[in-house]
Amino acid sequence: MSDTKLRERICALAKSMFERGLTHGSTGNISARTEDGGLLVSPTGTSFGRLDPGRLSQFDAKGVLVAGDKPTKEMPLHTAFYDTRSSAGAVVHLHSCHSVALSMIPGANSDDFLPPLTPYAIMKLGKVTLLPFFLPGDPAMGEAVRGLAGKRSAVMLANHGPVVAGKDVEAACNAIEELEDTARLAMMLRGVNAIALNDDQISALVTKFDVEWEA
């Protein structure tokens, strides 16, 4: 995809998520690999609803900012995924309400945050790791992602929001929306003896769709 088309696609997808309430105000950030190995990144303090394609932060293949506005303060999160997952072509971070709410409920499984309610969350995300709370912009968030050694495409930052890497910006956005929708289902079903997918069904999904599913 050309630089111009990628810039427009990033902004269009971000605006769509903003307009549907998946993030709000000036929250959230998004990045994508360019054809030359660089990055386009949403600038700091910007709204997903009003990103300007011409003002996206542009990094070269060596990680040097070469054009655009100052990038998001969450760059350590983005670079951690790119550095540890060779398949990562885009990274999205949202402050989506249902996933944040689910992260604050005691007893969450930190190694497998989302309950197995639908096949699509498993297919698009694999297991999601719940990370502890960090101050926004803390480089330790990136170090926590690096500590996963590339074994997860998605993490949930407690009291903060999800972060997802995908093969391209479309895939990353689709996956993070699946994460939020699964969290919303989980919140809707609290107190109900819901029938989740069983181990055999999960195993069949993992095998058929070649899902990364580390124990």
Q: What is the CATH number of the domain that holds 65?
A: 3.40.225.10
- Asked whether residue 99 is assigned to any structural domain, the reply reads yes
Is residue 70 situated within a structural domain? yes
Asked whether residue 141 is domain-assigned, the answer is yes
Q: Which band of pLDDT confidence, cut at 50, 70 and 90, is reported for residue 25? A: very high
Q: If you average pLDDT over residues 79-89, what whole number do you get?
A: 97
- pLDDT at site 215: 59
Binning pLDDT at 50, 70 and 90, where does residue 31 land? very high
Question: What is the three-class DSSP state of 156?
Answer: strand
pLDDT for the residue numbered 139? 95
From CA 166, how far away is CA 46, in angstroms rounded? Answer: 22
The answer as to whether 214 is a domain residue is no
At 1 the pLDDT is: 87
Enzyme catalytic residues: 120
Instruction: Look up the domain containing 67 and give its range.
Output: 3-208
From the number of C-beta atoms within 10 Å of its C-beta (0-12, 13-18, 19+), residue 32 rates as buried
Kindly report the average pLDDT of the chain as a whole number.
96
Average pLDDT, integer, range 205-213: 95
Q: How many domains does the chain have?
A: 1
- At 214 the pLDDT is 74
Proportion of the chain in helix, strand, coil states, percent, rounded to 5: 40, 15, 45
